[in-house]
Structure 1
Amino acid sequence: MNFQFSIPSLPKTPQYSPNQLIQLAINLPDITISIPSVDKVLEVIEQGKADEVSKLDWVYCIHAKPQWDQQNIDRSCKTSAAIWKVAISNFWLQHQLLWRLALYYGDRQEQVLAQSLVESFDVFANSDLISQLLPVKIIKALRTTQAGRELAKIACEKRVNRTGLLNNIRDYLPVWIPLFTDFIEEITPYFTTISFPNHQQVKWLLICLDEMSNSQQIKAVNYLLTNVSNDIATNHSLLVDWLRNNYINGENWYKLSDPARQKLRDWIGGINYGDFQKLVNLILNRLDLQNFESNRLCSRRDFWANYSNRFERLRILLPKTSQIAIGYQIQGDVDLLEDDGSDPTEVCIFDFGEWFVVEFFRGRGSETRLFPKNSRNEQILFGKSTLSVKRIRCLGGDKHDHVYLWQVQEFSPTWLKNHGILPNPNTQPSRNPTAYQLQERQHKLERWKIEIERIEREARAYV
């Protein structure tokens, strides 16, 4: 079988005349193509016409300046200084130079900027119009040997955490460079260098700690607790409260080092003892007490100072008369003591870890009671909104007197020690009493036992 194919016809190629194109080219204006060069830019700057330098020329100049410097070593620094002077009033040029300078210092990209521009930065940075700008301060920090510490200082001055600082500079500097990420670990070391931190600096520390990952925060808190002065706990209960809420209970507590845990116990105890001490002093100053009552309160205040490190929590209960006299001078967990006919007395409840200690300040009995720390006792002693003297005494517990010589080593301290409650380290024991003093104490103790039994019967009848 034979097949025949027909060849398709193709359109003829049009014959265009170039005359119109030639005429168009003749009518075009003369155009001079300007090739960027460092010399051209420097020449314009010397003529005082830096405003006429295009952005393209600036980009090329910054890019080519390292090679130009090699060929013009004697002029490299002077010309770079001139460029920085222009940048003082040229925001766009500022941005280009500072961005590259941050990369040079922060990301070790030494090829991004001529060495002469790096070395002449102070011509720009020391200008009165420029020196206080945040990006400039940060560049100065990046070029120090302790860049992270200096960045932390800047964040503290601005009262912002790491995220807040980066949000302030992300339009001006490359915020992804490692130093901007890593300086969060320098927050606590910087804070501990502040001799007398104020309230705002403590608040800044806390917003930084809240921003950290769990591992970063554990490391920071360990450093804080083992390196900062105890005075900060006395003056800044806000910090101690934050540490108590985040570390005294739960798994974070066990992630702290032993020295850090001990320091936190000391801090919390110091704050709580301070509230107790303040209460005693207010009672002494505001209430009309007899001498023996004042002496009794002073001895209690001084005695419990030896156990200040053990105060984990404190609850204060005041009779109506004391609450009126003291007013709102006491902060913390303070409640009104229900009137049940008992002698007027203030009551303090101490949480000592495994034990609750209840201290009756005044009146007949005026004892210390010790209760094991369990859910029932905790609910009653720290949970109930209303308590009375008789209700507390009806709970029972182990009790100790406050009669003559109660605070010497053989009596109350030994009683506490037998329950695992030890005084602060380096506490000096009291001197041994004489035989006559012991006999006098025994006589008064017998009368106290009779009195406390009568009071407890009254309490049981009331409840």
Structure 2
Amino acid sequence: MNSQFSIPSLPETPQCSPNQLIQLASKLPDATISIPSVDKVLEAIEQGKADRVSKLDWVYCIHAKAQWDQQNIDRSRKTSAAIWKVAISNSWLQHQLLWRIALYYGDWQEQVLAQSLAESFDIFANSDLVNHLLAVQIIRALRSTQAGIELAKIACEKRINRTELLNTIKEDLPIWIPLFSRFIEEITPYFTTIRSPNQQQVRWVLSCLDEISDSQQIKAVNHLITNISNDIASNHSLLIDWLRHNYRNGENWYKLSDPARQKLREWIGGINYGDFQKLVNLILNRLDLQDFESNRLCRRRDFWADYSNRFERLRILLPKTSQIAIGYQIQGDLDLLEDDGSDCTEVCIFDFGEWFVAEFFRGRGSETRLFPKNPRNQQILFGESTLSVKRIRCLGGDKHDHEFLWQVFSRIWLANNGILPNPDTQPSRNPTADQLQQRENRLERWKREIERLEWEARTYV
């Protein structure tokens, strides 16, 4: 061996006598280790001493109850019911059990709660002291065969969307279980089961739609439109306004199904025609009109009823006298018509998609004007706050009379420009030769009147 490398010296191993260890242990104080058991907890409950059970004992009891039940099948349900009764007045135990039962019914794979505890939940939930709790109501929903629908019902009753619901219960229940993510798919299916939704319920469903992803919203809106009645739509302009704003223009319109697009067109048109119809009825009731003026307005109202599905937008312009008489009975896009010396008349401007139609109710001329929907006309007819009869006439456009048989020829005129009546509308009867001649005589006078009015408008503007 090379003398350069020497073996290091190691300390001597101490000699310990077992007798010394025994002597040392004998001097330690006595210690009793308490091992938790289900029986110990159940015994305390039976003796009315549940308040003395430690949190550690409760945790062990809940964890071990399933295994205990297998060895005590005949007592499993009765003892679980007793545990739930304690939880009614023990908020800490209540939280432990509710958290686990939510996992149990929330598609959680691990065994988190004894079946007997899950099946005895109603003992707790039916108590008047706790049945009002949101966490209890939610677990009832999770237990049902239609958990998503029931969760949507709770959210609707509380007037809260999914985010607000989860924020409310996140301290009480595990909000990350899959059902809480999926129940948003049941929002519109639940809403469409409400026979006569009120304004608050409509606001609730729109709040829910506003917070979800684009793909979820498209699916939900398709279901909403195709599954609620026309009566509900016509009674809730708030719903129609939201749908119009989010889906009538832009790429979302083309993501809707064909049936949904058709119904939405009809709803928007129906709401707008309803405003037009209401305006005519108010004028007839509130203003002192001559008989021929009243008859003329009634015929306008009835004629445009055949086009009610086509109204995209409506703007109402009233002279000061009409605005005073009608007051605030109309809720649409309503403005004061500037006085420019023209005959007193109300004017309605309809948006028919590719065309704007201006309808003059009364006075000399009393025509319908058709304007192409371009940026300039849109800005003037729907954007400018002050308009007058002469200002509208000065825009030109194609025009049509309201003389004898005007309905027959107006329908042809509109159809030639792609504006068609509602489906199933009855066609007009063909006029006789005498009627055509009578119309032609009146039409000549109207044309001369319109030329004079248009000259006045150009001069004024």
TM-score interval, normalised by the smaller of the two chains = over 0.9
Aligned to 1:450: 448
Secondary structure in 1 aligned to 2:219? helix
Amino acid at match of 1:308: S
Structure 1 stretch displaced more, 4-13 or 163-172: 4-13
Amino acid at match of 1:247: Y
Aligned to 1:310: 310
CA-to-aligned-CA distance 1:89-138 (integer Å, 9 cap, x gap): 11111111111111111124362111111111111111111111111111
Aligned to 2:285: 285
Identity %: 84
Aligned to 1:216: 216
The answer to whether the 8 A contact 1:202-1:239 is kept is yes
Q: How many residues align?
A: 461
Listed as ranges, the matches of 1:185-196 within 5 Å are 185-196=185-196
Amino acid at match of 2:454: E
Inter-partner Cα distance in structure 2 for 1:286 and 1:18: 115
Aligned to 1:393: 393
TM-superposed deviation, 1:289: 0.9
Listed as ranges, the matches of 1:59-458 within 5 Å are 59-109=59-109, 111-407=111-407, 410-458=408-456
| Alignment gaps of 5+ in structure 1 | none
Secondary structure in 2 aligned to 1:48? coil
TM-superposed deviation, 1:63: 1.4
The answer to whether the 8 A contact 1:233-1:270 is kept is no
TM-superposed deviation, 1:457: 2.0
TM-superposed deviation, 1:157: 0.9
TM-superposed deviation, 1:174: 1.0
TM-superposed deviation, 1:38: 1.2
Amino acid at match of 2:278: K
Amino acid at match of 1:413: R
Aligned to 2:52: 52
TM-superposed deviation, 1:8: 7.3
CA-to-aligned-CA distance 1:384-405 (integer Å, 9 cap, x gap): 2222111211221111111122
The answer to whether the 8 A contact 1:283-1:322 is kept is yes
The answer to whether the 8 A contact 1:319-1:345 is kept is yes
TM-superposed deviation, 1:432: 3.8
The answer to whether the 8 A contact 1:314-1:333 is kept is yes
Given the superposition, is the C-alpha separation of residues 73 and 14 from structure 1 closer, same or farther in structure 2, using an over 3 Å criterion?
closer
Inter-partner Cα distance in structure 2 for 1:24 and 1:448: 126
Secondary structure in 2 aligned to 1:336? strand
CA-to-aligned-CA distance 1:352-396 (integer Å, 9 cap, x gap): 001110000000010101111111211221122222111211221
| Alignment gaps of 5+ in structure 2 | none
Inter-partner Cα distance in structure 2 for 1:70 and 1:242: 57
Given the superposition, is the C-alpha separation of residues 456 and 28 from structure 1 closer, same or farther in structure 2, using an over 3 Å criterion?
same
Inter-partner Cα distance in structure 1 for 2:332 and 2:322: 16
Secondary structure in 1 aligned to 2:69? helix
Amino acid at match of 2:47: Q
Inter-partner Cα distance in structure 2 for 1:269 and 1:426: 16
Inter-partner Cα distance in structure 1 for 2:384 and 2:419: 25
Structure 1 stretch displaced more, 266-275 or 175-184: 266-275
CA-to-aligned-CA distance 1:217-245 (integer Å, 9 cap, x gap): 01111111111111222221111111111
Structure 1 stretch displaced more, 302-311 or 424-433: 424-433
Inter-partner Cα distance in structure 2 for 1:299 and 1:3: 128
TM-superposed deviation, 1:67: 1.4
Given the superposition, is the C-alpha separation of residues 17 and 360 from structure 1 closer, same or farther in structure 2, using an over 3 Å criterion?
same
TM-superposed deviation, 1:320: 1.7
TM-superposed deviation, 1:5: 7.3
What's the RMSD between the two structures over aligned residues?
A: 2.3
TM-superposed deviation, 1:176: 0.7
Inter-partner Cα distance in structure 2 for 1:247 and 1:133: 38
The answer to whether the 8 A contact 2:41-2:58 is kept is yes
Secondary structure in 2 aligned to 1:411? helix
Structure 1 stretch displaced more, 325-334 or 250-259: 325-334
TM-superposed deviation, 1:9: 7.5
Amino acid at match of 1:281: N
Inter-partner Cα distance in structure 2 for 1:177 and 1:332: 45
Inter-partner Cα distance in structure 2 for 1:172 and 1:43: 28
The answer to whether the 8 A contact 1:41-1:58 is kept is yes
TM-superposed deviation, 1:25: 5.9
Inter-partner Cα distance in structure 2 for 1:58 and 1:236: 53
TM-superposed deviation, 1:156: 0.7
TM-superposed deviation, 1:60: 1.3
Inter-partner Cα distance in structure 1 for 2:383 and 2:110: 64
Inter-partner Cα distance in structure 2 for 1:439 and 1:46: 104
Secondary structure in 2 aligned to 1:316? strand
